Chains A and B, each alone.
Chain A
Amino acid sequence: MLLTPSPWEDPSLFAEQVIAGLATGSIYALAALSVVLIYRSTSVVNFAQGEMAMLVTFSMWSLTLAGFDAWMVIFIGLALGFALGGFVERTIIRPVEDKPHLNVVVVTLGLFVFINSVATWIWAQGELPKVFPSPFGDDSVDIGPASVTTHSLGILATALIVMAFLYLLFNKTKIGLAMRASAQNPTASRLMGINVGRMLTLGWALAGAVGALAGMLVAPVTFLYPSFMLAVLLYAFAAAVLGGLDSPVGAIVGGFLVGVMENLFGTYTPGDILGPEMKLPLTLLVLVLVLLIKPTGLFGREQVRRV
């Protein structure tokens, strides 16, 4: 009988897995951010978030076929994701915005199905999955004992830049302050002269762009097929809930935690008992344990209000 080598015997493996976990974690963090951006402003979980990203990624795949450069495609995709997010809010969400939350949730589920069908109809011909290029290439580089791909480092860096941008936007600009205010108290915001509807549209647009970026960055790894964002979104929801659904910081920390946990569970679960397939259930188990101790998530806040 052949004995597979125990993962514990390879010291560089741990570092490699942590870095790879941070890289996938940054994808989860971006996708979780896109969920949180919308949840904060409308208290609605947008189930179509992943499919909107998928639609953008497939459209960009078509552009690469037409000869567009991998970097160019990322920027066009960001713009398209932004426009799509804003468009969806204006046309589909706005009419149900003042209705009970369940209505909005059902609308986003409908959108999920719709986009999925359209994408399947347009792109699911010929061979699936499609190959999506990475603007960072996929060479290996050594960091200490660990060997990681340039793509992993690239998405990590991109995610950090996007997070810094969003932090500055929300905390250092007037429009960011107005967006936070609209999310908290729409009536008072109107009395301050803020166009709350425009802020909602902007929130959805930003979420659309960030989600699309997550899709385009993960596609080179997972390859591209109509439901490729499903697993990502599942982990992203886990990350968002873990961090606290209303907290952008929580989404980021949660994303990295889930990414690293997933990778380490996949590597270090004893194969003869559980096997790497157990990484998803084990990750979700940690999530449940955290929520048992802190129901609002790691960074979620209880309402601050004194009456």
Chain B
Amino acid sequence: MMLRLSEVSASYGPVNALEGVSINVPEGTIVTLLGANGAGKSTVLRCASGLLRPSGGTVEFRGRQIQRRPSEAIVSMGIAHVPEGRELFAELTVEENLLLGAYSRRDKKGVRQDIGRMEEYFPVLRQRSTQAAGLLSGGEQQQLALARGLMSRPRLMLLDEPSLGLAPLVVRGIFEIIQRINKEDGVTILLVEQDAGLALGVASYGYVMEAGRIALKGDAERLRSDDSIRRSYLGY
């Protein structure tokens, strides 16, 4: 199992954000985490990447417990977190953002090669290589965020709402890339999305969150086709 959360609880100060959440992400798959705003989806990712320390439960990455490790250590183990709102280094250039993505790596040559690879994946990044990241359009920024995440050569990517604020056509492009990352590079993906239809289209398994708990889980196909689930949880 690539990632396993067992009975994870977490809180922001006095506010409980997660209560006993258990999630499994098998190696090589895309698993999606759905739910309304504030259900706790982003919090799950924050617990997995070490930005937030769970108050209870365990987080296992490839069999090792990581819930007490700081995020800067977790990256080098092979988890890349592409956070909500992308969190780029707005005033640094596109190339500097990519270099920072590879900060935990020591192989200079490999990093150079990977920058070339990213520019193949996302041609716009080559054109904009020396521009400040903050000046890119929303879609370009999302591509840069994905590329920066990939620069650490992760085994697992945590993607938080990659479709947020993007035009439908751009979103389609981003999701094609996500599938390529999964298939061609063999990166396991835990995908948080508000657009359930979109997410279940690429994922093999899904969890639905409600008020800090897992309300529902199942194969993506089953979640997609079940009428009552669709109406009450997925809203389409």
Given contacts A178-B103, A181-B92, A184-B90, contact A191 B76 (CB under 8 A): no
Given contacts A178-B100, A184-B90, contact A193 B49 (CB under 8 A): no
A192 contact set on B, CB distance < 8 A: 72, 75, 100-101, 103-104, 148, 152
- Hey, what's the 0/1 contact readout for A178-208 against B, CB within 8 Å counting as 1? 1011001101111111111000000000000
Evaluate contact between B89 and A185: CB separation under 8 angstroms. Answer: yes
A191 contact set on B, CB distance < 8 A: 49, 51, 71, 75, 80-81, 83, 87
Evaluate contact between A180 and B92: CB separation under 8 angstroms. Answer: yes
Q: Point out which of B49, B72, B136 has the most chain A C-beta atoms below 10 A from its C-beta.
A: B72
A305 contact set on B, CB distance < 8 A: 90, 134
* Nearest chain B CB to A50 CB, angstrom units: 29
Quick check: is A99 within 8 A (CB to CB) of the other chain?
A: no
Evaluate contact between A304 and B90: CB separation under 8 angstroms. Answer: yes
Interface residues on B, range: 20 to 34
Residue of A nearest to B50 (CB): A190
- A-facing residues in B117-164 (Cβ within 8 Å): 132, 134-138, 141, 148, 152
The B interface is mostly helix, strand or loop, or mixed, namely: mixed
B132 contact set on A, CB distance < 8 A: 304
Quick check: is B195 within 8 A (CB to CB) of the other chain?
A: no
Evaluate contact between B72 and A184: CB separation under 8 angstroms. Answer: no
Evaluate contact between A306 and B136: CB separation under 8 angstroms. Answer: yes
Quick check: is A101 within 8 A (CB to CB) of the other chain?
A: no
Quick check: is B21 within 8 A (CB to CB) of the other chain?
A: no
- Other-chain residue from B71, B136, B148 in contact with A190 (beta carbon distance below 8 A): B71
B135 contact set on A, CB distance < 8 A: 304, 306
A259–B134 Cα distance when bound, in Å, is 36
Quick check: is B110 within 8 A (CB to CB) of the other chain?
A: no
Quick check: is B99 within 8 A (CB to CB) of the other chain?
A: yes
- A-facing residues in B59-100 (Cβ within 8 Å): 70-73, 75-76, 80-81, 83, 87-92, 96, 99-100
B83 contact set on A, CB distance < 8 A: 187-188, 191
* Nearest chain B CB to A306 CB, angstrom units: 6
The A interface is mostly helix, strand or loop, or mixed, namely: helix
A187–B88 Cα distance when bound, in Å, is 10
A195–B72 Cα distance when bound, in Å, is 6
Quick check: is A301 within 8 A (CB to CB) of the other chain?
A: yes
- Hey, what's the 0/1 contact readout for B30-65 against A, CB within 8 Å counting as 1? 000000000000000000011100000000000000
A196–B179 Cα distance when bound, in Å, is 32
- Other-chain residue from A190, A301, A303, A304 in contact with B70 (beta carbon distance below 8 A): A190
A67–B15 Cα distance when bound, in Å, is 63
A190 contact set on B, CB distance < 8 A: 50-51, 70-72
Residue of A nearest to B83 (CB): A191
A194–B88 Cα distance when bound, in Å, is 14
* Nearest chain B CB to A190 CB, angstrom units: 4
Evaluate contact between A188 and B103: CB separation under 8 angstroms. Answer: no
Evaluate contact between A193 and B72: CB separation under 8 angstroms. Answer: yes
Evaluate contact between B136 and A184: CB separation under 8 angstroms. Answer: no
Residue of A nearest to B82 (CB): A191
- Hey, what's the 0/1 contact readout for A279-307 against B, CB within 8 Å counting as 1? 00000000000000000000001011110
Show 25 A/B contacts (Cβ-Cβ < 8 Å), sorted by A.
A174-B103, A177-B92, A178-B100, A180-B92, A181-B89, A181-B96, A185-B89, A185-B90, A188-B83, A188-B88, A190-B51, A190-B70, A191-B49, A191-B83, A192-B101, A192-B152, A193-B73, A193-B103, A193-B104, A196-B72, A304-B90, A304-B91, A304-B132, A304-B134, A304-B135
Binding site for B on A (CB under 8 A): 174, 177-178, 180-181, 184-185, 187-196, 301, 303-306
